[in-house]
Amino acid sequence: MEFVLNDEQQALREMLRTFVAKEVRPKAGEWDASAEFPRETVAKLGELGLLGAMVPEEYGGSGMDMVSYAVAVEEISKGDGSLGLTVASHNSLCTAHILGSGSESLKRKYLPELASGRSLGAWGLTEAGSGSDSLGMRTKAEWRKDRWVINGSKMFITQGNVAGVYVVLAVTDRDKGKDGVTAFVFPAGTKGLSVGRKLHKLGMRSSDTAELVFEDLEVGPDAVVGQVNSGFRDTMKNLAGGRISIAALSVGIGLGAMREALAYSKERVQFGHAVSEFQAIQWLFADMGTELEAAELMTFRAAFLKDTGRPYTREAAMAKLFASEAAMRATIKAVQVFGGYGYTQEYPAERYMRDAKLCEIGEGTSEVQRIIIARDVIRSH
């Protein structure tokens, strides 16, 4: 078994560490305070090929493997969880759905714009009344004469305000349940699409999140991603890969918080000693380091399985579950290392803690991951 990154992956990691140190970490606190989407920095990530990470070169992407993509999300998230989430959601949801299920014409129409970052992608599944119960969605699409007409709304949509391309799930045959949902793609500015309220969040504040509303939005038959009524099953495949990116996001946030706490613990003097010399503080770092390294290994294992064409749904759920909860524990410990200063916005520890919480919720809550894992464990034994 090989536990080291190859030369190309290591070079990617080093390049992004330099980029994050210069372009991300000094600005992350300001982005968080203003809840402003960092358009210029996102555009630079597009120039680096990070917004078309796994898109094949024939469609203008970087053609990365999943392990390399996980490395990229982790490194960006060490500097800013919001920016890491932008990269993860853009690549793993909207873009990945078109890449995995779209027709050749849809791929050629949308992927070059998405891969370059000239357009950002938004993906609409969740609604105000249906989160984990995704089949409870109310948004519907009806076939009228020669086109589909979509009505309804979506909630908690990442890039909702800033996207150029939207992939949206809608019920097309309610009687068929999971076999009655279809995915549609359309550009920003399509008549009938409006962006509702921008959501103000506990964390990930500079990641754009909004409500979408559809009022008699019309698209032709060529806007269907995949097949009519195949949208839900395609979505479940899509989410399995997306969970690997959320695991990487979690690891990055946790390691970023630990890095800040380590630096502070060596500078902060109490009772004549740096607090890093006290055993109680050292044990916090021992727990953080152990859990985050385990989380990273689980994440890379799931990514490797996906890269090699092996089953990975359970492993992705395990990685997402463990990494998100490890990140939450690590960021809480990081705040503790800072003491009273950790509870203020003078230091970034509290931002990492707020950002980490989303990882236990987004792309399937921890409870949903446990259901997925338990079902597979029981079935396989």
| Catalytic residue selected from 211, 260, 350, 363 | 363
Q: Are residues 271 and 335 in the same domain?
A: yes
Q: pLDDT confidence of 79, banded at 50, 70, 90?
A: very high
Tell me: pLDDT of 108 over 90.
yes
- Quickly count: other Cβ atoms within 10 Å of residue 370's Cβ: 14
pTM, to two decimals: 0.96
pLDDT tens digits along 261-290: 999 999 999 999 999 999 999 999 999 999
pLDDT tens digits along 333-366: 999 999 999 999 999 999 999 999 999 999 999 9
**What are 149's strand-pairing partners?**
142, 218
Q: Are residues 192 and 298 in the same domain?
A: no
CA-nearest of 226, 207, 102 to 163 is 207
Are 322 and 298 spatial neighbours (Cβ–Cβ below 8 Å)?
Answer: yes
Are 257 and 79 spatial neighbours (Cβ–Cβ below 8 Å)?
Answer: no
Tell me: pLDDT of 135 over 90.
no
CA-nearest of 141, 215, 233 to 185 is 141
Q: pLDDT confidence of 377, banded at 50, 70, 90?
A: very high
Joined tokens for residue 202: 């506990």
Q: Looking at residue 300, what is its pLDDT? A: 98
- For the question of residue 363 being annotated catalytic, the response is yes
Joined tokens for residue 93: 């949801």
Tell me: pLDDT of 89 over 90.
yes
Q: Are residues 173 and 220 in the same domain?
A: yes
The DSSP annotation for 216-253 comes to EEEE-GGGEESSTT-HHHHHHHHHHHHHHHHHHHHHHH
Mean pLDDT of the chain: 97
Indicate which CATH number applies to the domain containing 127. Answer: 2.40.110.10
Mean pLDDT for the stretch of residues 100-112? 97
Mean pLDDT for the stretch of residues 155-169? 97
- Quickly count: other Cβ atoms within 10 Å of residue 142's Cβ: 13
- Quickly count: other Cβ atoms within 10 Å of residue 37's Cβ: 21
Are 160 and 209 spatial neighbours (Cβ–Cβ below 8 Å)?
Answer: yes
Could you tell me what percent of the chain has a pLDDT over 90? 96
Q: Are residues 127 and 112 in the same domain?
A: no
| Sequence-separated (6 or more) residues with CB below 8 Å from residue 377 | 314
- Quickly count: other Cβ atoms within 10 Å of residue 178's Cβ: 14
CA-based end-to-end distance of the chain: 25
Helix or strand run (H / E) with residue 270: strand 269-270
Q: Are residues 265 and 284 in the same domain?
A: yes
Are 39 and 84 spatial neighbours (Cβ–Cβ below 8 Å)?
Answer: no
* Distance of alpha carbon 183 from alpha carbon 181, whole angstroms: 7
Q: Are residues 237 and 364 in the same domain?
A: yes
Joined tokens for residue 323: 């990494």
- Quickly count: other Cβ atoms within 10 Å of residue 133's Cβ: 10
Q: Are residues 246 and 356 in the same domain?
A: yes
Domain-embedded: residue 17: yes
Q: Looking at residue 34, what is its pLDDT? A: 96
- Count: domains in the chain: 3
Mean pLDDT for the stretch of residues 218-232? 97
Could you list the residue range(s) of the whole structural domain that residue 59 is in?
Answer: 7-120
* Distance of alpha carbon 306 from alpha carbon 122, whole angstroms: 23
* Distance of alpha carbon 342 from alpha carbon 63, whole angstroms: 40
Q: Are residues 205 and 258 in the same domain?
A: no
Q: Are residues 168 and 245 in the same domain?
A: no
| Sequence-separated (6 or more) residues with CB below 8 Å from residue 253 | 77, 78, 81, 84, 327, 331, 352, 355, 356, 359
Q: Are residues 366 and 241 in the same domain?
A: yes
Instruction: Give Cα 272 to chain centroid, integer Å.
Output: 43
Cα angle, residue 329 at apex, residues 70 and 158 outer, rounded to 5°: 50
Q: pLDDT confidence of 134, banded at 50, 70, 90?
A: confident
Q: Looking at residue 97, what is its pLDDT? A: 98
Q: Are residues 182 and 238 in the same domain?
A: no
Tell me: pLDDT of 107 over 90.
yes
Phi, psi at 249, each rounded to 5°: -60, -45
Q: List, in sequence order, the alpha helices (H) in the chain.
A: 7-19, 25-34, 39-47, 66-79, 81-89, 96-101, 104-116, 231-267, 279-307, 313-338, 349-359, 366-380
Indicate which CATH number applies to the domain containing 267. Answer: 1.20.140.10
Tell me: pLDDT of 164 over 90.
yes
Mean pLDDT for the stretch of residues 208-227? 97
Tell me: pLDDT of 220 over 80.
yes
Q: Are residues 239 and 370 in the same domain?
A: yes
* Distance of alpha carbon 348 from alpha carbon 339, whole angstroms: 13
Mean pLDDT for the stretch of residues 2-23? 96
Q: Looking at residue 274, what is its pLDDT? A: 98
Joined tokens for residue 303: 């990514």
Tell me: pLDDT of 102 over 90.
yes
Q: pLDDT confidence of 133, banded at 50, 70, 90?
A: confident
**What are 193's strand-pairing partners?**
214
Tell me: pLDDT of 192 over 80.
yes
